[in-house]
Amino acid sequence: MKKTSNRRLDIIRRYNRLAWIYDWLEAPMEWLRFAKWRTRLSDRMVGPRVLEVGVGTGKNLPYYPQDVDAVAIDFSHRMLAKARKRGLSEGSKVSFHEMDVQDLKFPEHSFDTVFATFVFCSVPDPVDGLKELRRVCKPGGRLILLEHMRPGNLFMGLLFDLLNPIVVRIMGANINRRTMENIQKAGWHIQVEEHLTSDIVRWVEARP
């Protein structure tokens, strides 16, 4: 437990440090790919209640449907402050909370859609986080994930394993997570798995 707690604090500190330049660091990929993928969110979210985990600086806010009651969380207070500022500038009615996906403060079956984009690479215990999302998702609700993960190719997988400690140290993100396995371990039933960049970046939808 203490090891997980220390990892969590390390990740929070790292994202707090990076918050002021985070959008700049991701700008090339946002322009090339990420923004295009995010546009799909508005079509796939089912309301009325929606939860975004790891809202970061709020890059998904423009793609929230107008008719949903949206809640957004992050465990980095500086990233969350950036998201709040973006929400205000765009007239968003999202409710923001500083919170950890591994310990959600919501009752069971609170949300129709729970989603995250490029988040579970950074969650200290991703299976615990995915279990918490299943707990707060309504029966018949939907999980949406846009995630990068360990490639299936033997050579590329080993390369990602080798590079992972460096990337974690710099960005706080793991590049070798076996996210599809983690989703199933958490009790979700995968409905959609679409490969967007080879099998590294995937769009996933699942049911409780």
Domain over 2-207 is classified CATH 3.40.50.150: yes
| pLDDT single digits (tens) 123-178 | 999 999 999 999 999 999 999 999 999 999 999 999 999 999 999 888 778 999 99
H-helix or E-strand spanning residue 164: helix 154-171
CA separation for the pair 63, 122 (Å, rounded): 23
Tell me the pTM. 0.91
| pLDDT single digits (tens) 36-89 | 899 988 889 998 999 999 999 999 999 999 889 999 999 999 999 999 999 988
| pLDDT single digits (tens) 75-86 | 999 999 999 999
Domain ranges of the chain: 2-207
Four-residue CA torsion sign, 195, 101, 92, 205: positive
Which of 41, 208, 196 minimizes the C-alpha distance to 115? 41
Confidence of residue 1 (pLDDT cuts 50, 70, 90): very low
